Amino acid sequence: MKFHHTLGPTDLSEQVASLINTYNNLSYRRTALDVREGKIDYVVETHGKWVVGCCGYEKLGYQLTEIKHLAVNQEWRRRGVGGFLIKSVLKFCDTPAIFATVREDNKSSMSLFRTLGFIPSVTYNAEGHNVLLLTRVSPKWQKADWKPGSYDDQFLLTSEAIPPGLRS
């Protein structure tokens, strides 16, 4: 089965780059070529021939995925687009840990990520702004009975998740 969209890769990447550059205050502007040929995969939400929101994710290794470049057109905010995009990205994540960075003054994004189970872990200063590192366990790994542990033990595997022959 094939799915076709009226927007081709060039149109999509141009609109995603425009959204990111307009709403994300990044240290350098992204081009359509960066979006199309970079390491970041994107989930996009469209309305007709317009991209109204996007969310990128990059698998950084077997253990970790970063969510980045969440952007929703101003006219489409407060309609659930951002939450839909992040939830869609979470479905693609196959690593146990997922993180995102959000500027501390971006209250709406902070609230959205917290609503979706992300926990603030660290605050640091980047280019004169306080940035929060938000983390969570991937939904696919939560099914493996991973539970939040202490500060020293980030995750504890419950005995029920250990095969009977390996339990002590």
Distance of CA 22 to the CA centre of its chain: 18
Alpha-carbon distance of 22 to 114, in angstroms, equals 24
Task: Check if the beta carbon of residue 120 is closer than 8 Å to that of residue 131.
Answer: no
Write out the H or E segment, with its range, that includes residue 52. Answer: strand 50-59
pLDDT for res 144: 53
pLDDT for res 8: 86
Task: Check if the beta carbon of residue 45 is closer than 8 Å to that of residue 81.
Answer: yes
- For 27-37, write each residue's pLDDT tens digit: 789 999 999 99
Please name the residue that has the structure tokens 């995603």: 16
- For 43-85, write each residue's pLDDT tens digit: 999 998 999 999 999 999 989 999 999 999 999 999 999 999 9
DSSP letters spanning 68-137:
EEEEE-GGGTTTTHHHHHHHHHHHH--SSEEEEEEETT-HHHHHHHHHTT-EEEEEEEETTEEEEEEEEE
pLDDT for res 139: 82
Question: How much is the pTM?
Answer: 0.79
The β-bridge relationship of strands 50-59 and 64-72 is antiparallel
Alpha-carbon distance of 77 to 7, in angstroms, equals 22
pLDDT for res 79: 94
Question: What single DSSP character describes residue 19?
Answer: H
More confident residue, 147 or 85: 85
Count of beta carbons in the 10 Å neighbourhood of residue 13: 23
- For 84-98, write each residue's pLDDT tens digit: 999 999 999 989 999
> Does the pLDDT of residue 109 top 70, yes or no?
yes
More confident residue, 6 or 166: 6
Confidence at 39, pLDDT banded by 50, 70, 90: very high
